[in-house]
Structure 1
């Protein structure tokens, strides 16, 4: 079997797994869920975990576990310990059973299932995201394009320059000690790029925020570098990195470098930050402004 056919088949399994996880998530309401806390980054969003995360993961692994042996794949998932096999196998599944657990527990949108297949060198080959609130299934395969539900991706028309620029930020933005500074920086950035106004959308998890960037141009999702541990991990950005790649959009770190999605030296992105933009030309302007701010 050729690589393209094999990737297509694995993408179908990932879609099946994501939809199964979505059914688990939608069977719960926020009030039914007991919240626990785990070791993670410095933010509450990176420490919250629920039985829904765990059952969502179980639903995903029920579908994908057989592919570990049949295709000699490794596994990295947020709710299990990293066994290091991602450095030994040619490819590994990278799974976030429910990105945006915090907004889920608050009864707010902004959560999604994310499944990526990543090559050992860190290149994302498959990206699948399911948003159970909007019932949108994103499916991207390297070199094969992006589909949302049954439709092949077509970029939406951006609002004309001089109108509005959208910034998407995580649900923890409101409690961030640098919120006011970052707000002023984003507003100034939009003005210097020629937009009459800017809107800051406090949205939820990294996965959901990135998907909204793709579908609401001109827009960006940015997470500046910071000294504290956190800033998202491989499972937060693996699937959307592939989706953005196939959409012709932009997903890089804060300095414009390739996202390291299989590093042996870090599991989080606080050291380098991230920048997702709705198109590469726009990203060049955003990155230039970010360098000035930094």
Structure 2
């Protein structure tokens, strides 16, 4: 089954309604309870709040009728993967709160993220809601990218510095020095003043910040465990595709948004970049000995 343009538009409107309602609830709430998910992984992956579950419930209240009506699958961060994404032609991919740490700390950088992904891994709808900025961002395959209902076009100016948007865990990571050294070299080669690092947001808002800047990137080097999952990147992959920006792994391939063996996404690295020139330089740098990893 192939969804029509009309059906995609209707589903995007429902996803916007769901994400906005969930985001408004989040904006009114502070975490009431923190539970540990596991004893390993990033700090963000170790905690889940009551607000996560309430956000998911609000989203599913709106989207659940579409599961039966259009035979859609469902993958969410807070529920076990039931394999429905391999049987349905399309599946919803939901992150009730992306950027758990900024939310817990009461700082900007978290968002609600909803994507509709085809079984072959192609993102067809991406919806993001920023509760702090009260901003709705969405994209529909073939219809473009939008910010608060207006077409989102990339900035034409080149900027004076290269910006790296990343999560807070980057600051304590083993690869921090080599990534910043490599990007500083790229900035010099491009005639820029230097590198600006912003490590304050989750994956969704990091990607959105890249798109809002004239020369910016968000990247993760390859790793076999951790580094983000389908729900962290599916919506923004659709957004970047429709905006004409770059969202690939570090080998230049489209994201594998429906891996049969895992929901993890960082096995070949993650790269969001504002243009192909910058993306090419980052990939080339990755292929050098300094950036070579497991991918």
Q: Name the TM-score class by shorter chain.
A: over 0.9
Q: 1:56, 1:280 → 2: CA distance?
A: 36
Call closer, same or farther: CA 1:40–1:270 in 2, change over 3 Å. farther
SS in 1 for 2:15: helix
Match of 1:55 in 2: 54
Q: 2:185, 2:34 → 1: CA distance?
A: 38
**Structure 2 length-normalised TM:** 0.93
Call closer, same or farther: CA 1:97–1:40 in 2, change over 3 Å. farther
Contact 1:248 1:280 (C-alpha < 8 Å) held by counterparts: no
Q: 1:283, 1:176 → 2: CA distance?
A: 22
- From 174, 179, 185, the counterpart of 1:182: 179
Q: 1:41, 1:104 → 2: CA distance?
A: 20
Is 1:200–2:201 an aligned residue pair? Answer: no
Is 1:270–2:266 an aligned residue pair? Answer: yes
Q: 1:41, 1:291 → 2: CA distance?
A: 29
Return the offset for 1:255. Answer: 1.4
Show the 5 A alignment for 1:76-225: 76-160=75-159, 163-225=160-222
Q: 1:204, 1:49 → 2: CA distance?
A: 17
Match of 1:233 in 2: 229
Contact 2:113 2:126 (C-alpha < 8 Å) held by counterparts: yes
List runs of 5+ in structure 2 lacking aligned partners: none
SS in 2 for 1:203: coil
- What is the alpha-carbon root mean square deviation over aligned residues? 1.7
Give CA deviations for 1:10-62 in whole Å, capped at 9, x if unaligned. Answer: 00000000001101101113xx4321121497211222210111100000000
- Paired residues, number: 289
Contact 2:22 2:58 (C-alpha < 8 Å) held by counterparts: yes
Q: 1:261, 1:9 → 2: CA distance?
A: 22
Return the offset for 1:87. Answer: 0.3
Q: 2:209, 2:118 → 1: CA distance?
A: 26
List runs of 5+ in structure 1 lacking aligned partners: none
SS in 1 for 2:199: strand
